[in-house]
């Protein structure tokens, strides 16, 4: 891996103590990244030159942004679907079932009645015998499905992750994110599904995204993650932006899943968990909650930055809306600037995990982020322990804590030469306890050095 690094924050003088910030932090908890800025600005080409391009030309590209690589394909969709097609008319009850399934689907939930009708009109009926695959993980798909008869089992990496009953929709994510199928779906018995033509499905999503472009563009302006981008770059991100809706208890991403998109919370609250299991019914059990997300917060960026699988499961606490951008689109739009944006967001999320620094307001956390510098250390290189706050971005640190060997990995941090772990859900009481621990443990962490692959702090 060569040299890696870590994020170090020097002493920062703030006007109020952590305990005095507890109430203010609660009041501002829903602002999330809205008050976070980037300093210094991300280096890029002169924005005035970019703005000289015709905006009319940019707008023409907007209707091609979502899933553009698949949108031009015609025909029934997956190559092997044709042999399963059966002539069948859509009665009133069938139309009601299909529309209801789409309204409950995370991709289609915000579509209006005429848009649902347009997708419905293209749907054809397919039958599958027990044990046959409707879609297969890793393969390209161009069809959106609704199950009318029978039951289906959903597999991710050969593990059963869900069971679908009549009236459930599936297959939209791969189309939305322009990526291979994220799961395999197999018939548990004789099944009948309705499949919508991929071209029509994309056209409807594109038109719906255009309707909400102004709203999404304003939302992007409130996300400090993208501060430093030119107006044109933000315009392009806005064109790739789409909103998904999740009911209470829905899994947005699951630990171990491939990373297909980065998400931004628009409305509602989500729980971030590690560990746990997913039953065949799709129910998520026994996960350990490590944090909560609210409006303005971002997730999926950590796995995206490191080209990793998802390392957490994110579950909606109540009904939520999340803006999302596909990995493919984001890399194409931002290029080298993507890494800088995500590094800064990672540092901010680290501050929020600290039982002490999390008590400061969002604007004060932003001031801390501005004081942060990123350093790289070669394997075995000595690392200072006197920093007010340091978080491992990449690699590992080895050292001694209270004379016992300790290893700090990505996402772990230390403060004033001590390791202070969060015990509960935050708040003034936890901050006070953490301050006592910090005072007691100060300088007990020593002899830190970068691991065999180096580190970024």
pLDDT tens digits along 81-127: 899 999 999 999 999 999 999 999 999 988 999 999 999 999 999 99
* Whether the predicted model's global pTM rises above the 0.85 cut: no
Q: Are the beta carbons of 418 and 350 closer than 8 angstroms? A: no
Q: What values do phi and psi take at 103, rounded to 5?
A: -65, -25
d(CA 333, CA 217): 15
Q: Are strands 404-408 and 394-401 parallel, antiparallel or unpaired?
A: antiparallel
pLDDT, tens digit, for every residue of 34-49? 222 323 333 333 333 3
How confident is the model at residue 5, as a pLDDT? 45
- Give whole-number Cα distances, 38 to 30, 293, 351, in Å: 20, 21, 15
Task: Please report the DSSP string for 291-353 in residue order.
Answer: EEE-TT-EESHHHHHTTPPP-SEEEESSSEEEEEEEHHHHHHHHTTHHHHHHHHHHHHHHHHH
Distance CA 131, CA 309 (A): 28
**pLDDT for residue 9:** 45
Backbone angles phi, psi at 223, to 5 degrees: -95, 110
Residues of the chain with pLDDT under 70: 1-79, 224-225, 227-228, 305-307, 336-337, 345, 416-443
Give the pLDDT confidence score for residue 315 in this predicted structure: 94
CA distances to 159, 257, 352, 374, 378 from 291, rounded to whole Å, are 26, 19, 9, 24, 32
According to DSSP, the residues that pair with 190 across neighbouring strands are none
């Amino acid at each position: 891996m060569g040299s890696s690094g870590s994020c170090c924050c020097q002493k920062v003088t703030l006007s109020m103590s952590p305990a005095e910030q507890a109430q203010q932090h609660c009041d501002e908890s829903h602002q999330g990244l809205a008050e976070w800025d980037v300093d210094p600005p991300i280096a890029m080409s002169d924005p005035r030159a970019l703005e000289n391009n015709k905006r009319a030309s940019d707008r023409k590209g907007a209707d091609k942004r979502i899933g553009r690589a698949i949108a031009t394909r015609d025909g029934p969709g997956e190559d092997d679907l044709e042999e399963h097609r059966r002539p069948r008319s859509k009665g009133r009850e069938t139309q009601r079932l299909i529309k209801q399934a789409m309204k409950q689907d995370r991709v289609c939930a915000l579509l209006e009645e005429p848009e649902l009708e347009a997708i419905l009109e293209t749907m054809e009926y397919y039958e599958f015998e027990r044990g046959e695959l409707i879609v297969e993980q890793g393969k390209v798909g161009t069809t959106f499905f609704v199950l009318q008869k029978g039951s289906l089992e959903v597999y991710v990496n050969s593990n059963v992750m869900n069971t679908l009953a009549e009236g459930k929709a599936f297959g939209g994510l791969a189309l939305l994110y322009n990526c291979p199928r994220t799961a395999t779906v197999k018939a548990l018995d004789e099944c009948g599904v309705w499949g919508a033509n991929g071209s029509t499905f994309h056209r409807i999503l594109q038109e719906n995204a255009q309707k909400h472009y102004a709203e999404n563009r304003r939302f992007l302006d409130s996300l400090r993650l993208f501060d430093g981008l030119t107006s044109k770059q933000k315009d392009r991100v806005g064109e790739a932006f789409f909103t998904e809706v999740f009911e209470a208890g829905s899994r947005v991403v699951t630990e171990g899943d491939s990373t297909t998109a980065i998400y931004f919370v628009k409305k509602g609250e989500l729980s971030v968990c590690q560990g746990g299991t997913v039953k065949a019914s799709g129910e998520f059990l026994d996960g350990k909650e490590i944090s909560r997300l609210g409006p303005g917060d971002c997730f999926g960026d950590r796995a995206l930055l490191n080209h990793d699988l998802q390392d957490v499961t994110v579950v909606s606490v109540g009904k939520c809306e999340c803006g999302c951008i596909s990995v493919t689109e984001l890399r194409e739009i931002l290029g080298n600037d993507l890494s800088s944006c995500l590094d800064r967001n990672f540092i901010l999320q680290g501050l929020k995990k600290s039982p002490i620094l999390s008590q400061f307001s969002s604007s004060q956390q932003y001031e801390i982020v501005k004081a942060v510098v990123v350093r790289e250390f070669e394997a075995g290189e000595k690392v200072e322990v006197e920093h007010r706050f340091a978080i491992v971005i990449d690699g590992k640190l080895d050292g001694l804590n209270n004379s016992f060997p300790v290893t700090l990995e990505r996402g772990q941090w230390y403060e004033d030469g001590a390791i202070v772990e969060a015990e509960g859900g935050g708040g003034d009481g936890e901050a006070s306890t953490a301050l006592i621990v910090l005072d007691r443990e100060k300088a007990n962490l020593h002899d830190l050095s970068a691991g065999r692959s180096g580190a970024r702090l």
